[in-house]
Each structure stands twice: as C-alpha cells, then as structure tokens.
Structure 1
Amino acid sequence: MVRKARMRGVLAVLALILTLLGMQVPGPGGASTARAADNPAQVVQEVRIDDRTLDVAVRSPEIDGLTHTRWVRLLLPAGWDRNAQRTWPTLWLLHGGGGNHKDWTANTHVEELAAGRDVIVVMPETSGCSGYSDWWNYGRGGAPAWEAYLLGELRPLLERTYRAGTERAAVAGLSMGGQGALKFAAAHPGMFKAAASYSGGVNMLYKSPDGGFSGPDAVKAGAVSCLADWKRVWGEPGYPFDTDDPADVRQRSVWERHSPLHQAASLAGTPLYVSYGNGTDSGTGWQWGGPPPSPARCTDPAAHGGEAVERAIFGMNGQLRARLAELRIPATVCASEGTHTWPYWERELVASFPMLMGALGIEPHPDPAVIQPHPPAASSRI
C-alpha cells in the first residue's frame, strides 16, 4: 500500500511538471490524447463568417514564413456542434496556384451545393506554389512541409477539435490542387474514399511537343509568384529540361514521386474523376441553377486552343488517361473544350459532386428549397 501511494505521488508530481511545461498528460483517451500532445499544430484564431462558415487560423512549424500560420475555411453542416457526440465526413477542396482558402466560396456555389449535405467541407490555405508537397530544399527537407502539415497535423486537428470523421473523406482540387488531390490519394491509399481533379497538373514532367508551355514552366512561374527559389520545391527535373544529356536526371525521382501520372498504380481502388479542357474558350454550355452538366460536353477535342496553360494541362491529362487505361484503373474522365478558368471548374465540381458524396455515403437534402443560388465572383488561377 505504501509503495502504491508513493507511486501515485510520483505520478502526480510528474503530471504537475508536464503541465507547467505546457505538455499534455495522456488521460483516459489514451492514444487520441497522446496524439494531440504530439501534434504541434495549434488553432490561434477563429472567425465566424456566417452561420455555416468558420475560418480557422492554424500555426505549425511545418509552415514556412515568419508567422508559420495559414487559414482553413470550414463549411459546416446543419446541426454541427464542436461538442457533438457524433462526427461528420469531410470533403477537402484544394486551391490552385496563387489561391487561398477563400477561393472556392468566392468563385463557386459550393455553399449551396453542400447545403443540406451531412458533410464538413474543408478548404485549406497553403501557398501559391506549395505543390501540396514537403519541399526538397536541396536535400535538407524541413519547412515548408505542406503534405505533413495538411495530412499529418491539420487533419487530426480537425478530427480532434471540429468533429471531422476519421474514416470517410474525399478530396478534390483544381490546377495545382488537382495535382494535390490525386497525389494525396496515391500516396495514402484508403485515406480518401474518392478523388477528383479539375484541370489538374497531373504530370509536371510534361514536355510540350511544340515548344509551348511545359510542366516545369508552371513550377518556375509559381515560385516567382511566391518569391521563392523554384528548385527548393522538387529540385531540377533534369533531361530534357535542364540538360541535353539523357543520363543527367538530377532530381527527376523527386518530381516523379509527386506526380499522379508516375504514381498512377497507387490510385487503384479509389473512385476517380478527371476533367480538363483543350485551351478553347467556347463557353461552358451550363450555368448554376440549370440542369446538371450534360455528358455531351465531354467531346474529346483536339488540343488546338489558344490558351497555353490548359493546352499543357490537356497534354498531361491525356497521358494520365492513357496510363490509367493501361493499368485498367477505372476513372470518370471528361475532356472538353475549355480554358483554365473558374466557370469550367465550377461546372466540373457540380458534375463530380454526386460521385464524391456517394463515396462518402451522403444523400442530397430532400428539400430543394435549401439551395439559394447567388452569383459567384469571376476569377482564374494557374
């Protein structure tokens, strides 16, 4: 008895010391409480935008910059409560290059689309040139480590603090975010129940056949917008971009590791939606509030449009489409006329939404009156 009392006293003193040091002591929650203590990401601010929209500022050492802070916007379902006994499935929407956590609500009707759905929509901010990757940093690693932050820190933080579910999540993104969505699904099989890419940069090793815009050009342009050294992201791609020597591959393996095309085999078993345009702006043939986008839009046109970025995207996604077919991995693919702009991305978000929700087991709200359209702002991202 004396020994047990002495042990309880030692544990109490240890707990007090850990508390004074700002550490958490594992309690009855066991592993989940320990995981919370191990996760350095912290919520530093919350801003309630409206009854359904919550902006959360998160600080993490994995984030580059002076403040090490980025925002995440949450669209919350009806009945959500941070103290609820239940959890909610999540849909992650990833922004493109130069974007942020406000893009999807500013440029699409995602609020109305998700209204009445039993889902938390997660829209995280990274940087305009994040690549949704842990940067190579000349082989040193370290910050920014966007994948480690988003999936290793932000995701468990949302599960712990905002009642996000641990089992059911889907991910979608545009441009750089499309690359991120498929990259995450390939790198973490089973983490996401479905993945969608809209004009995604699915092979940044793409070489334009006519001397036009190639994959590394996008990485270099993005780094300029971030005031960053582009070689920090994945290094140099090597031949045929930086050298005429086919044996000089430099950091090509790093580029391939972050390429949905080169990691396509790991997408097997994940429901996929892939859409892209050919660089021709002929109009979407669809507007919010009308019937669902018609399958007739997916015409498999030739890449003859004048918009350079989407023409490169067209080439990349054609390669991915062929690779998925070679691997016999099913995917819903829509190749259409279109440019690298929001009206096309919103159309494809709406077209893919039933697949994304179906993968989460979520049915639409039975009352269509919950959807109240409003005009989105016009914008575009690279």
Structure 2
Amino acid sequence: MRRTAAAALTLMALVISGTGIARADPPTESTIVDMRDVSPNRSQLTVYSAAMGRTATVDVLHPADNGPRPTYYLLDGVDSGAGETNWTQKTDIVPFFADKRVNVVLPVGGRGSFYSDWERPDPGLGGVQRWETFLTRELPPLIDARFAGNGRNAIGGLSMGALSAATLTTRYPELYRGFAAFSGCLDTVSANAKLAIRNSIGWVGGNPDNMWGPDGDPAWAEHDPLARAAALRGKAVYISAGSGTPGPESLTDPLMPQAVTFGAVLEYLVRGCTETFQQRLRELDVPATVVLHPEGTHSWPYWQQDLHDSWPLLESALTD
C-alpha cells in the first residue's frame, strides 16, 4: 500500500516540463513526501531534503507496533546501493532486526559523498551534496515523528560509512549515544588517509576538491575523528577491522575474486588505521571495543558478522 503525505507535496517534489508548463516550486522544509510499506517491519520513504533541493530514498526497518523505540542509522560504503541500500541486498540485516525494538534507518544513495556537506556541488555525483545536514538535522525529527523514535540515536557504517559514522559522532556528540565502524580508516588528515579518500571519490566519478577543498583546506581537519576523539568519551564505541588474510567467509562473498585480491590489500591498510585510532583512544583513556580479527578482507561476510557482534553494545547504550 502506498501512502502519500499530501498530494500537494508530491506535486511540488516532481519536475514538470513541457510547453507552457512551469516547474512546481519545491517545499521550503524537509518532509516525507511518500512512504511505501514493504512489509509490517519495513518501509521505504521518499524524503525531500531542503538542504540538497531533491528527494532521497530511505529504508527503515522498524517494529510493527507504534511504541517508542531508539533509532540506529547505518551507512553504506563508497559504492552505495541504487534504489536499495547494500545492507539489505548483501546481508541478513532484515531478519536480524525483525525481532528487535529499534528503528534501523538506511539512507539510499550518498555514493562517494562521505555523507558530508560538500563545499561545492559535484556534477559527477549528482549536484549538491549536503548529507551531513540531511542526516543530523533534517532526517531525525522526521523519523522520530513517523516511527515513534524516542530521541536516542546511534550510528554505524562500513568503509566510507565507517569514517562518516565516526566523523558525525565526533562532530555531533549530543546526537549519538554510540557508533560502530567496520573496516574504516578513521582519519582525514594523514597523507595516506587523504589519498585514500581522494581515490575513493574519484573512483565513483566525483571531484574530491569539491568536498573539503584542496589538501590544505581546514575542512579536512574539521572532519577528522582522530583529532576529535575526545568527544567519544561516554559513548559506546565499537571498531573492527580484519587483517587482510582471507578466511573461509571470503569464499562466500558474491564479489569473489575481488574479495581476496583488492579487498585483502585494502583491509590490510585499514588495519593500520584502526590500530592508530585504538592507540589514540588509549592515550585519551576513552573506553572502546576494538576488534582486530585475525583474518578478514574488505568484504560483506565480515561486515555482516560485525553487525551482529556490535549490536549488544549499541543496544545497551540505546536502552540504558
């Protein structure tokens, strides 16, 4: 069943072209334009973002009843899904959360954006990128109002989404009770980290200078979770990385053989970043769960297991 927030809002979200037909003015505020119930525990939203001037798709896994519950925002990697998040396509996230009292919010899109507010529009990625504003200001009140959110939030992600989750938590510590980062290099300032970020954006067709400017731009440091790690004090923190050595799970990855070639090298590099972040947390005396797996490549079977393993820690932070 398809429910429309209001016919007028739907019309305003459409681009109408043709002789003598003017384009409708978009809404002035962010709003849920449309909601489709996929199942009693899953809905897909079309959300108009005033910051980006366009709609975004958001999947929500949720309890069937309307009682109050917390919310877990979960972010994709650099090559995010089209039409549906990779989390629902490549893991068991839907059945895993089916019996859990939490809203799981899965933004669709954000490919190569690092879920940040970019300094300039990027034609290669689809124009204006204001994902930070969307995720921290526009979306939470809409989710809470529609899905009985109680104002308690956590955030997580893999690879690009792992860095983004750490960045958003350190920039908005009042918004999140904890975060989970799977196979992410939680650093934006070192030369290797900048190179990795730039290459990731370029790989999906974006111009990295449009995000935080050239390497000397202060915006790079402003988004660095390593430098802002003290903001994690009192949060639930779960960070994981593999070693780069393929384990038996690698044989089940649908992206074989990349999972044991490119994925192995990438995870080996991520391991070093994770150890650096772990050392920084120790220096600050910030408690954290850091899991350094003896095996594991940059691939989905390991992230699915990390999703399962990290949930008890985040659930405790969201319900205490």
Mark yes or no: TM-score above 0.5.
yes
Equivalent runs, 1:337-356 vs 2, <5 Å: 337-356=295-314
1:77 to 34, 41, 63: 63
Q: What letter corresponds to residue 54 of structure 1 in structure 2?
A: S
**CA–CA distance in 2 between the matches of 1:306 and 1:93?**
21
Give the gaps of 5 or more residues in structure 2: 1-11, 13-26, 122-126, 253-261
Q: What letter corresponds to residue 339 of structure 1 in structure 2?
A: T
Equivalent runs, 1:1-382 vs 2, <5 Å: 40-63=29-52, 68-80=54-66, 86-100=67-81, 101-137=84-120, 143-166=128-151, 168-207=152-191, 214-237=192-215, 250-251=216-217, 253-284=218-249, 307-336=264-293, 337-361=295-319
**CA–CA distance in 2 between the matches of 1:306 and 1:119?**
31
Report the RMSD for the aligned CA atoms in angstroms.
2.6
Q: What letter corresponds to residue 227 of structure 1 in structure 2?
A: G
Per-residue deviation, 1:283 = 2.7
CA contact (8 A) 2:52 2:129 kept: yes
| 2:45 alignment partner, SS class | strand
CA contact (8 A) 1:128 1:222 kept: no
Per-residue deviation, 1:284 = 4.3
| Residues 1:125 and 1:218: Cα distance change in structure 2 (over 3 Å) | farther
CA contact (8 A) 2:28 2:50 kept: no
CA contact (8 A) 1:185 1:270 kept: no
| 2:231 alignment partner, SS class | helix
**CA–CA distance in 1 between the matches of 2:148 and 2:74?**
18
> Higher RCO, 1 or 2 (CA under 8 Å, sep at least 6)?
1
CA contact (8 A) 1:75 1:121 kept: yes
The runs of at least 4 consecutive aligned structure 1 residues that moved more than 6 Å come to none
TM-score w.r.t. structure 2 length? 0.80
**CA–CA distance in 1 between the matches of 2:160 and 2:85?**
16
Q: Which has the higher strand share?
A: 2
| 1:91 alignment partner, SS class | strand
Aligned-residue identity in percent: 31
CA contact (8 A) 1:129 1:219 kept: no
Give the gaps of 5 or more residues in structure 1: 1-21, 23-37, 81-85, 208-213, 238-249, 288-304, 363-382
Per-residue deviation, 1:56 = 0.4
Size of the aligned set, in residue pairs, is 278
Per-residue deviation, 1:105 = 1.5
Per-residue deviation, 1:338 = 1.2
CA contact (8 A) 2:71 2:102 kept: yes
Segment drifting more, 257-266 vs 100-109? 100-109
